[in-house]
Amino acid sequence: MLRRRGVLAGIAVAAVAGLLGGCSNTDSWVDAAPAPGWPAQYADAANSSHTDTAGASDLQLDWTRSVKGELGAGPALGIHGWMMLNAQTETGCSLMQWENADRGRQRWCTRLHQGGGFFGALIDGFDNVYVGQPGAMLSFPPTQWIRWRAPVIGMPSTPRILGDGLLLVVTHLGQVLVFDTHQGTVAGTPLDLVDGVDPTDFRRGLADCAGAHSDCPVAAAPAFSPASNTVVVSLWQPGAKEPGLVGLKYHPGGTPLLSQEWTSDAVDAGVLASPVLSADGSTVYVNGRDQRLWAINAADGKAKWSVPLKFLAQTPPAVTPDGLIVSGGGPDTDLVAFADRGEHAEQVWRRDDVAPLSSSSLAGKVGYTVVAGTSLGPAGLSLLVFDPADGHTVNSYPLPEARGFPLGVAVGHDQRVVATTSAGQVFSFAPA
């Protein structure tokens, strides 16, 4: 009996040793990753305005609600359909979380320092929220209690998850930081894209950001590609005639974590709105103030091609993984799509009978955008559902009593579709 017990004990010890020897670090499962669906304005870190969710072509208006203030950025939708809105309100709550599938029922809200509503929030796969206010970056758990708060110089743009439990933040004054998503501590050494910034004057230039004017160095959210670890920022240096682009490289586990690789003034007239990175991270698509769509090499900032839009696109283009590019929106625009052919762009289709006022949002075989006018006439706004393959209208739904200008369309992983306006209105559609 003693010998048998000794043998069994030896087997048990060997088994435990084998398990320990064969185990690897599994902490990566708790690392933050973007929520499925529409975790931030323009969908993903690349600003592609594309989701793998198969969008619904038939919709019905489920509910409408107001934030009782103004909005400057579209909503973020989490894995449970919870919606984050960064509003600007005279009093009371400004950062709000609503339940999209429950007629906009409010889960929680809190007040942020006002002045930064032109940037939105980010939701990760655990429903943690990351959002900026002038002078600080904050994170919230699924409840309203603050996980962490960290000081920054300026107003944080919409943040990006780099992976490895790290969060990228670029402020409107050009400070670039990487935070630990759990603790809010700064990882690595911050970069300053603009020299001579007074750290005590973190509100300088905020009034110029909504209109993308010269006193706001970074007026649009950066783009990040995990495929190439490339970060691209639109930057208007003090004293420069027009804004250009800056390319950064993320070095996972390296020192430094971020390095500046290039600056580009390839777009002579200056860039407008957020840059967008291709699915493989090799190409940057950006609007020029010269009414052209530009493709820039993400490795060196040199121009690949440009194509005339024949209008000024004030919002970013939408880009699919196979290289279809649907132009951005704005007043007096067309709905037009191009294919990237490497050294040039080919127009796939153009519609001059509709004026998209927002970026298109692409979800499988359907696209969504907000256009001027309704079936009853040129006044008002409508949600247009179209086929990205040829641009034809699939459906159209009026936004009742819509005011202001549209901020885009968010598509949840449950196929619910949300449109918002600058007047603080939220229109939520469900699959019919």
* Residues 394-422: tens digit of each pLDDT: 999 999 999 999 999 999 999 999 999 99
CA angle 217, 257, 193 (to 5 degrees): 15
Separation CA 346–CA 113 (nearest Å):
45
| pLDDT tens-digit readout, 238-275 | 999 999 999 999 999 999 999 999 999 999 999 999 99
Percent of the chain with pLDDT over 90: 88
Q: What's the rounded Cα separation, in Å, for the pair 143 and 140?
A: 7
Burial class (CB in 10 A: 0-12, 13-18, 19+), 200: exposed
Instruction: Decide if 173 contacts 191 (C-beta within 8 A).
Output: no
**Which fold, 31-431?**
Methylamine Dehydrogenase; Chain H (2.130.10)
Q: How far apart are the first and last CA of the chain?
A: 71
Residue matched to tokens 């050009």: 174
Q: Would you say residue 339 has pLDDT above 60?
A: yes
Q: What is the pLDDT of residues 2-51, one digit of tens each?
A: 334 443 344 333 443 443 444 555 555 678 899 988 999 999 999 999 99
Task: Judge whether residue 286 has pLDDT over 60.
Answer: yes
pLDDT tens-place string over residues 163-208: 999 999 999 999 999 999 999 999 989 999 999 888 889 999 999 9
Cβ(349)–Cβ(336) under 8 Å? yes
**pLDDT attached to residue 13:** 39
Structure tokens at 115: 């002045």
Quick one: three-class SS letters along the chain? CHHHHHHHHHHHHHHHHHHHHHCCCCHHHHCCCECCCECECCECCCCCCEECCCCCCCEEEEEEEECCCEECCCCEECCCCEEEEEEECCCCCCEEEEEHHHCCEEEEEECCCCCCCCCCCEEECCCCEEEEECCEEEEECCCCCCCEEEECCCCECCCEEEECCEEEEEECCCEEEEEECCCCCECCCCEECCCCCCCCCCCCCHHHCCCCCCCCCCCCCCEEECCCCEEEEEECCCCCCCCEEEEEEECCCCCCCEEEEEEECCCCCCEEEEEEECCCCCEEEEEECCCEEEEEECCCCCEEEEEECCCCCCCCCEECCCCEEECCCCCCCCEEEEEECCCCEEEEEEECCCCECCCCEEECCEEEEEEEEECCEEEEEEEEEECCCCCCEEEEEEECCCCCCEEEEEECCCCCEEEEECCCEEEEEEEC
What pTM does this model have?
0.92
pLDDT band at 373 (very low <50, low <70, confident <90, very high): confident
Cα gap 143→269, rounded to integer Å: 45
366 has a pLDDT exceeding 70: yes
% of the chain beyond a pLDDT of 70: 92
Report phi then psi at 35, rounded to 5.
-65, 145
237 Cβ partners below 8 Å, 6+ apart? 194, 217, 244
Sorted by where each begins, the domain ranges of the chain are 31-431
C-beta separation of 296 from 246 below 8 A: no
What's the pLDDT score for residue 29?
60
pLDDT at 377 over 70: no
What's the CA gap between 288 and 243, in Å, rounded?
Answer: 10
Q: pLDDT per residue over 69-101, tens digit each?
A: 999 999 999 999 999 999 999 999 999 999 999
CB atoms within 10 A of CB 311: 18
Q: For 162, how many CA atoms within 13 A lie in the half-sphere containing its CB?
A: 25
Can you read off the two tokens belonging to residue 209? 């950001």
